[in-house]
Amino acid sequence: MTLLSDPGQSLDDATDTELFERLQRSDVNAAERDRVCTELVRRYRFLVRWAVKRYAHGAEQAEEISQVGYLGLVEAIDRFDPARGVEFTSFARPTVLGEIRRHFRDGRRWVRLPRRIQELKLRIKDASDRLYQVNGRAPSAAELADELGVPRADVEEAMGTDDGFAPLSLDAPVDDGEETTTHVELLGAPDPGIDGVVDTEAVWPLLEELPERERELVLLRFFGNKTQTEIADRLGISQMHVSRLLDRTLRRLHDELVA
């Protein structure tokens, strides 16, 4: 690998594959590893912005979730094996989202899960990552059970558990600095923009069903703020091909959303 053979050499022109392969090499020192990892974080930070848009409510929470999301992104970079032939975007998204969800669970858990369930959920997460890289798709409960050597019912129980969060009473006081009122008194009228929120949320499952390349194309364009030319360079296809794929994918999403 000529481009990355010398420490300190510019990484701007290196491909993503070259950077990931550089991290796999045994002769990479800590400083060079940090430099390569930082460049990969810069290239894929749009995944964190995408996740923040889904979960953050307000600037303060967005900053907190962003930091957690970057931890997930770094974890995905460390664990990614380019030899598996899986797109990094598809591998990293569940890791980033999982880190954010775990942050909410650990920070706001009300009903504590049994230890055996907590430990099994962690094992399921690791096994899911391994099987995803092997099969290129999310594993089923049966596949996870075979991988971990546990009953399928235990896996389904762990995957089906949902942490409870401490409820807030509507009669709890709210002090705005001038007068004290309650939460129930602050409940607003129907938001005219709610239809837009519903449509936005409805897009996510449709996006999940797209083929891997089309899904990455949409993420790069609308969450990574990449131009069609930049996307073409990233995916190794022509700008015209990007335009056609993008037009076809957006029309498909629109038709399925309307349906």
Q: Which CATH number describes the domain made up of 205-259?
A: 1.10.10.10
- Mean pLDDT over 145-153 rounds to 92
Between 21 and 170, where is the model more confident?
A: 21
Q: Is 96 exposed, middle or buried (0-12, 13-18, 19+ CB in 10 A)?
A: buried
Question: 172-222: per-residue pLDDT in tens?
Answer: 666 555 566 666 666 666 666 656 666 667 777 787 888 888 888 888 888
- Mean pLDDT over 23-36 rounds to 85
Question: 97-134: per-residue pLDDT in tens?
Answer: 888 888 776 655 445 667 788 788 888 888 888 888 88
Q: Report angle CA 126, 131, 133 to the nearest 5 degrees.
A: 100
The pLDDT value given to residue 173: 64
The pLDDT value given to residue 1: 36
- Inform me whether the pLDDT recorded for 70 exceeds 90: yes
C-alpha pair distances (Å), 106 with each of 31, 62, 103, 163, 165? 32, 17, 5, 9, 10
**Cα 103 from Cα 42, distance rounded (Å):** 22
Residue 11 Cα to chain centre, angstroms: 24
Within the chain, all domains assigned CATH 1.10.10.10 are found at 205-259
- Inform me whether the pLDDT recorded for 236 exceeds 90: no
Nearest one of 58, 47, 61 to 98, comparing CA atoms: 47
Percent over 90 (pLDDT), the chain = 16
Which residue's entry shows tokens 């957690």?
Answer: 68
